Every structure is written in structure tokens, then in C-alpha cells.
Amino acid sequence: MTAGVTPLPLVLLHGLTDSAACWPSVVEAVGDSRPVIALNARGHGGMPLPDEPFTVTALAADAARELRARGIGPAIVLGHSMGGVTAEVLALHAPDLVAALILEDPAWPGGGDDGGAPAWLGDTVRRLAGRPRDELTAIAATDCAGWPAAETDGWITAKQGLDRRLADVPHQWQERDWVAATAELRVPVTLITGETARGSIVTPAQVEVARAALGDRLTHVPVPGVGHNIRREAPGAFLAAVRDALHRADRG
């Protein structure tokens, strides 16, 4: 923290099938220096799941409603995967709530080939949603191998609170070309990516589209040797990038 600078709140938006419990390393690293607010998306963390279509626009509207109800904003918004695109749409639709974005491998584009639910979602929900903790702990030994213990624990908690109907409601993730839509953002963006060969979603070509759209508002942090779950696979590099982004955003 810089003397004379009031730290901005940090809002955390999780990925698909995760929850607000999935940010322990971030909360521990920066929670003493600023307010940190982790939100649950609909159908996650025990939140109700409406029968209406599951869209990024709806998720962003949910987040905006919750932040306004709590009197939070403008804030720095950090989102992973689904939460990364949600954070982007929040900044587009409710710019008064967002001072800066930190995007951890955002889902550009998300969903299946037609923009519907990702192909893996149904099997994942059936395999994991609502299972007893001891069973999820055994599964996590493989699914979360190499992660910090607190991150694994958060993953287990998230799966316990996952709505079993999540794969049954209609999904539409590609309402727009979300990479091209970065051209409409007016806030600083820190984009943290892994390697596509290891499962990272964001491609080098998409990074270049975002760079052309955002210019010097974009800070790209590529993290070698990791895939989609950057903060869980390389927590040191991830947290260093987050701290740098927070410092820059606080100073305006």
C-alpha cells in the first residue's frame, strides 16, 4: 500500500462450477490491505438458479445488483474464466462500478461451439455436484494434484454447493465476440494467461486482438508452464501480477 492512497475494494468472480470459496490465496495475500468481496454466481455456492437462460449478461447483471446493494464500487474486479468474461461485461454495462479489471484466462469464447453449455459441463455436474466431502476429497487428489491445500479445499466446497440443474438450463455464452468487445472498455485491464498447450483458453491471437483494442490500457502477463488454473498452478507468479495490478489501479 502506498502512503496517502486509499486502496480500492477488490471483487472476485469465480469460474464455472467454482464458487466464492475458490479464492483463498488471493484473500490471504491482499485481504489485510483492502476490502475483498467474493461473489457467488447463480447456481453456484448455494445461490438460486433461475430457469431462464444462463448468460454472461445475466451473470454481470447479478453481480452489479449485488454490488449496488452492498454499496461497493468503483472496485477492481478480478475474474477467472467465466468470471473473467463476467467482469468484462460488468465493466461494459456498469462502468461506474469498475475501476480496473484483472482477467485470469477469461473464457474467450466460452461455452460449446454453438455458444451453449460447454461439452464437459454435464459430466462434471453429474460427477461432482453435491457429493459428500470425503468423496470429493478423494477425487481432488487427482483433479487438483499439485494445488495448494487451501485451493483444493475451496474447490471441494464449491462442488458441494453446485446446483445439479446447472447443465439442464439453457446456456448462451457467445452473445457477442467478447474479445472484440474489449475495444469498448475504458479501464485498465491486466490479462493473465497460461499456455494453450496446457489447457489455457486465451490464445496468442486473442491476446493480440485485445492489445490492438486496448493499447496501453492492457498489461499482459503470460505465465509459462501452466494451464487454465493459473492461481492454483503458479500462485507466486499470479499473486505478483495481482499485486502489481492493484498497486497501479490504486494510484489511478
**pLDDT in the model for residue 87:** 99
**pLDDT in the model for residue 109:** 82
Mean pLDDT confidence for 7-16? 98
Range of the domain at 136: 10-250
pLDDT at 4 over 80: no
Considering the domain boundaries, does residue 65 fall inside one? yes
Per residue in 160-202, pLDDT (tens digit) is 999 999 999 999 998 899 999 999 999 999 999 999 999 999 9
Local structure of 132: helix, strand or coil: coil
Considering the domain boundaries, does residue 5 fall inside one? no
pLDDT band at 3 (very low <50, low <70, confident <90, very high): low
Number of domains in the chain: 1
Mean confidence (pLDDT) of the chain: 96
Runs of H (alpha helix) within 7-81: 24-30, 56-70
pLDDT at 121 over 60: yes
In this prediction the pTM is 0.97
DSSP string, 172-228: E--SS-TTGGGGG--S-EEEEE--GGGT-S--HHHHHHHHHHHGGGEEEEE-TT--S
Considering the domain boundaries, does residue 181 fall inside one? yes
Determine the Cα–Cα distance for residues 245 and 238; give it in Å rounded to an integer: 11
Considering the domain boundaries, does residue 3 fall inside one? no
Considering the domain boundaries, does residue 2 fall inside one? no
Per residue in 130-150, pLDDT (tens digit) is 999 999 999 999 999 999 999
pLDDT at 113 over 80: no
Q: Which cell numbers hold the place of 85?
A: 468474461
Among residues 186, 130, 155, the alpha carbon closest in space to that of 23 is found at 155
Per residue in 196-238, pLDDT (tens digit) is 999 999 999 999 999 999 999 999 999 999 999 999 999 999 9
pLDDT at 152 over 60: yes
Considering the domain boundaries, does residue 155 fall inside one? yes
Number of H helices, E strands in the chain: 9, 8
Measured from the Cβ of residue 160, the count of other Cβ atoms closer than 10 Å reads 18
**pLDDT in the model for residue 217:** 98
Considering the domain boundaries, does residue 107 fall inside one? yes
One-letter amino acid identity for 159? Answer: K
Q: Which cell numbers hold the place of 92?
A: 461494459
pLDDT at 66 over 90: yes
CATH of the domain at 194: 3.40.50.1820
Considering the domain boundaries, does residue 188 fall inside one? yes
Burial class (CB in 10 A: 0-12, 13-18, 19+), 244: middle
Among residues 243, 228, 226, 194, the alpha carbon closest in space to that of 28 is found at 243
One-letter amino acid identity for 36? Answer: V
Over the range 76-109, which residues count as b (16 or more CB within 10 Å of their CB) and which as e?
bbbbbbbbbbbbbbbbbebeebbbbbbbbbbbbb
